[in-house]
Amino acid sequence: MQRAVYISKIETLSELSGSYDRLYFGTEFCEHLLPTVKALKRAQKEALDRDWQFTLVTPYVTDAGLARLEKLLPLLSEGDEVVVNDWGVLDWLAADFPQLTALLGRLLTKQKRGPRIMNVVDIVPPAMLSHFRRSNVDTPHLHNWLIKKMNVARFELDYPLQGIERRADVPASLYTPWMYVSTTRLCLTNHCENRTQSLRAIFTCDHACQRHAFTLKHPNMPATLHLAGNTIFVRRDDLPANMEELGIDRLVIMPEIPI
């Protein structure tokens, strides 16, 4: 089983413990948090010094985010991986960066991650429960297009509360312990210190996510939610017992919420 560590801030490297094979560096959820060229080069050097392989994690992007990625992708070496969470970036990667290895990120594998599924798992038919446990990438047409046309080499997955099933012919990574639930450009954390406008607005980013996080609870929600930046997470520390059978051969370990 491969072990990767996923960090969004380069300073986290000095706090790590444990043995790893690969460094995941970057962000899945916000183009404003993409690393600078300087930070990427430092992360690459740190990985090289530790004899780790390297994976750049990228989010869904606007034109502004694409402009930032245009500066980052050429810095990667042949065989480096890119976690892709934007369909346009996936197409761009396949066309212009065939030397890099594309991984389909958690935002595009489209698992059913909502904790409220646990409120109905005991009453739905077995076929529906199996559907809740699967990802959209198991759909034959999408699966074949991703592998044969987009050259996707790996699927990035969470371990939903209701369990996981998948076709195991493509390798998969399992992220732990922070399961992503939902994300939005309407960042609820942004300007939380001095907000005077509606929550439903897109503000100039003030990086409040780097200073604040929130815990959310509700009687109808069977898990504690963690709001960090524009994204909600659930912490799940256990792992599937049948990872080899599921084709999961890599753990992506997050020592902190990756925001």
User: Residue 166 belongs to a domain with what CATH number?
Assistant: 3.20.20
pLDDT of residue 197: 64
Whether 225 is in a domain gets the answer no
Q: Which residue has the tokens 């990438």?
A: 137
What are the contacts of 10-17 at 24+ separation with CB within 8 A? 10/35, 10/39, 10/42, 10/43, 10/46, 12/255, 12/256, 13/43, 13/46, 15/255, 16/255
d(CA 137, CA 154): 11
pLDDT of residue 14: 81
Strands 178-183 and 231-235: antiparallel
pLDDT of residue 60: 96
Q: Which residues span the domain enclosing 107? A: 2-178+235-253
Whether 188 is in a domain gets the answer no
Whether 65 is in a domain gets the answer yes
Whether 189 is in a domain gets the answer no
pLDDT of residue 183: 94
d(CA 199, CA 189): 9
Q: pLDDT tens across 215-230, in order?
A: 999 999 999 999 999 9
Whether 241 is in a domain gets the answer yes
Q: pLDDT tens across 155-172, in order?
A: 999 999 999 999 999 999
Residue 177: which of 221, 239, 228, 243 has the closest Cα? 239
Is 98 exposed, middle or buried, given 0-12, 13-18 or 19+ CB atoms closer than 10 A? exposed
Whether 226 is in a domain gets the answer no
| Series of mean pLDDT values for 10-residue runs along the chain (259 residues) | 95 85 97 96 95 97 96 96 98 96 97 95 95 94 95 97 95 97 87 70 78 91 94 96 96 95
Whether 43 is in a domain gets the answer yes
Number of domains in the chain: 1
Whether 156 is in a domain gets the answer yes
pLDDT of residue 199: 61
